[in-house]
Amino acid sequence: MSRRVYAETSVLLSYMLETPGRIGTIEAVLREASSGDLELFTSVVSIVEIAYLTNSTGKVVESDLIVIEQFWDNSPITVVENNLSTARLARDIFRERALANKGGNLPKPKPRVLDSLHLATAVWIDAVEFWTYDEDISKYQEAVGDRTKICAPNTLNPMLEL
């Protein structure tokens, strides 16, 4: 049986930008997903969040939309549409994170709505892991509980980066 995992936008963006130290793992993960050894999901929100790519100097790449669309068209990632159930679950996760600080002030970092929607989508599809490179999202683990583990991408078949 294959692992069911959710990839948040930072993982997908790291792939598109060929981020050193991450690209080897992500390529291995995509191979696992292509071969059926891994079920890989993300929310339709990721399509909105990846609106453009920047080069190493921070400038927007003119041909970025072609690269982005080719990624979505050829990707082994299943894109999940959000619905009323995921919206309510996201609200509950967002509130749980917002109310986590018993002192009444919002916890640091402040909860983000789209992070909650990503997490809710992962829980809704019964993902065993939620992959992200955004360290702030790991602070949601208590709100998500033990349903889905928040962690960096990992693979059973790592590829050495040269």
What's the pLDDT score for residue 22?
95
Query: What integer pLDDT is reported at residue 101 of this predicted model?
Result: 63
Strand intervals (E) in the chain? 3-7, 38-43, 78-80, 129-131, 149-151
Residue 109 inside a domain? The answer is no
Residue 99 forms part of a structural domain: no
- The pLDDT of residue 123: 96
Which domain covers residue 129, as residue numbers? Answer: 3-81+122-151
The number of distinct structural domains making up the chain is 1
Cβ atoms of 125 and 4 within 8 Å: the answer is yes
Cβ atoms of 137 and 113 within 8 Å: the answer is no
Question: What's the pLDDT at 142?
Answer: 84
Asked, for residue 161, whether it belongs to a domain, the answer is no
pLDDT at 90: 93
Domain membership of residue 69 (yes or no) is: yes
Q: Which residues of the chain have pLDDT under 70?
A: 1, 101-110, 157-162
| Residues 55 and 61 sit within 8 Å (Cβ to Cβ) | yes
* Residue 78: strand pairing partners: 41
Which pLDDT score, from 0 to 100, does residue 102 have? 63
Show the tokens assigned to 105.
């002030």
Q: Which tens digits make up the pLDDT trace of 76-95?
A: 999 999 999 999 999 998 88
Which domain CATH number covers 27?
3.40.50.1010
Residue 115 domain-assigned (yes or no): no
Residue 91 maps to a domain: no
In a domain, 32, yes or no: yes
